Amino acid sequence: MLTEKRVNFQRSISGFSIIEMAIVMVIVATLLGGLLVSISSTQEINNRIETKNQLDEIVEALYGFAQVNGYLPCPAIPTSNGAESRNGGGVCSRVHGFVPSATLGLSGSVNADGLLLDSWLSPYRYSVTNANGNVFTNQNGMRVTLAALGATMGGVAPDLRVCDTAACGAVVADRLPVVVLSLGADWATFDAADVDAAENSREAVLNGYRIPNDADFVSAPYIEDTFDDLITWMSPNILFTKMITAGQLP
C-alpha cells in the first residue's frame, strides 16, 4: 500500500512538472518572440539612420567635387569599378547609374562590381541631369559651357524632379541636378503593384541591376512592407552658390 501511494505521489509530481514546464516554455517563447521583433525593429531603424547619413555624405561629396572640378561626375556602371563612366572625349551621355564612389573618394562597403552599398547591401542609385546638352557633367567646365551657350544661370535648368507619388499629385522638389537613392530593405523584392517604388528603380535594367529611366522620382513616408525607399537630392541653388563661391562660376 505504501509503495502504491509513493508511486501515485511521484506520478502526480511528474505530471505537474510537465505541465509547469509547458507553461514555462510558452512564456519563454512569447518573450523571445517579442524580443526578436524588438531587435528586428531596432535594426531596421539603425539601418535607415546609417543610410540617411551616408546619403548626406554622398551629396556633400558631390558638392565638393563640383566646387573643385567645375562639373558633376557621371554615374558609375557595374563595369567601371566604382568610377564615373564616360564616353570617348570625356562626354557623359548617361543619366542613370550608380554613385561613382571611387571618383568621389567615398569610403564604405562595396560589392563585387565596386558599387557603394547601403545598409541592406544594395548599391546606391545615382541620377544626374543631362539638360542643356549635358552642361552639368561637361568636363570642359560649366562656366565655359555657359559662356558658349550665352545663357544666364536661370536659363540652364536641370530637369530631374521628385514627387509625392508616381502619379505626381504634388511636386516635392523640381529642377534638380542630381538625385541619389537607396531602395531600402525590400530592394530584392519585385512587386509590380508597387508603382511608387517602381518609379524609382524598376524602369530599366543595367547589367542585372534595376534602375530608373526617366526624370521623375518618388519621395513618400515610410510604410513597412509598402514603401521604404530613401531619397535625397542636390539643390540647384546651393550648387550654383557653392560653385560661385569656389570661383567655378561667374
Flag whether 207 is in a domain.
Answer: yes
pTM over 0.85: no
Task: Specify the amino acid at residue 8.
Answer: N
CA dihedral 240, 241, 245, 249 (to 10 degrees): 20
Instruction: Give residue-wise pLDDT tens across range 221-239.
Output: 988 778 899 999 999 999 9
Instruction: Give residue-wise pLDDT tens across range 123-145.
Output: 999 999 998 888 899 887 888 87
Flag whether 167 is in a domain.
Answer: yes
Sign for the CA dihedral angle at 211, 188, 123, 195 comes to positive
User: What's the rounded mean pLDDT across residues 161-172?
Assistant: 95
Contact 118, 54 (CB under 8 A): yes
> Which range has the worst mean pLDDT, 144-148, 173-177, 244-248?
144-148
115 φ, ψ (degrees, to nearest 5): -90, 135
Cell of 108: 564604405
> What pLDDT score was predicted for residue 191?
65
| 9: confidence class by pLDDT, cuts 50, 70, 90 | very low
Strand ranges in 80-124 using DSSP code E only, listed in sequence order: 96-98
Flag whether 112 is in a domain.
Answer: yes
Instruction: Give residue-wise pLDDT tens across range 33-79.
Output: 655 556 567 888 999 999 999 999 999 999 999 999 999 999 999 99
In three-state secondary structure terms, 245 is helix
Task: Specify the amino acid at residue 13.
Answer: I
Flag whether 31 is in a domain.
Answer: no
Most confident range, picked from 25-34, 131-140, 204-213:
204-213
**CA-to-CA separations, 89 to 37, 46, 70, 84, in angstroms, rounded:** 54, 43, 17, 14
Pairing of strands 171-176, 216-218: unpaired
Q: Give how many domains the chain has, as a whole number.
A: 1
Task: Specify the amino acid at residue 31.
Answer: L
Flag whether 142 is in a domain.
Answer: yes
Interaxial angle between packed helices 2-69 and 236-245, expressed in degrees from 0 to 180 and rounded to the nearest 10: 50
Flag whether 24 is in a domain.
Answer: no
Task: Specify the amino acid at residue 43.
Answer: Q
Pairing of strands 125-128, 178-182: antiparallel
Whether residue 186 has pLDDT greater than 50: yes
Beta bridge partners of 181: 125, 231
Flag whether 151 is in a domain.
Answer: yes
Flag whether 234 is in a domain.
Answer: yes
Contact 194, 208 (CB under 8 A): no
**CA-to-CA separations, 146 to 140, 153, 178, 213, in angstroms, rounded:** 10, 8, 19, 26
Whether residue 4 has pLDDT greater than 70: no
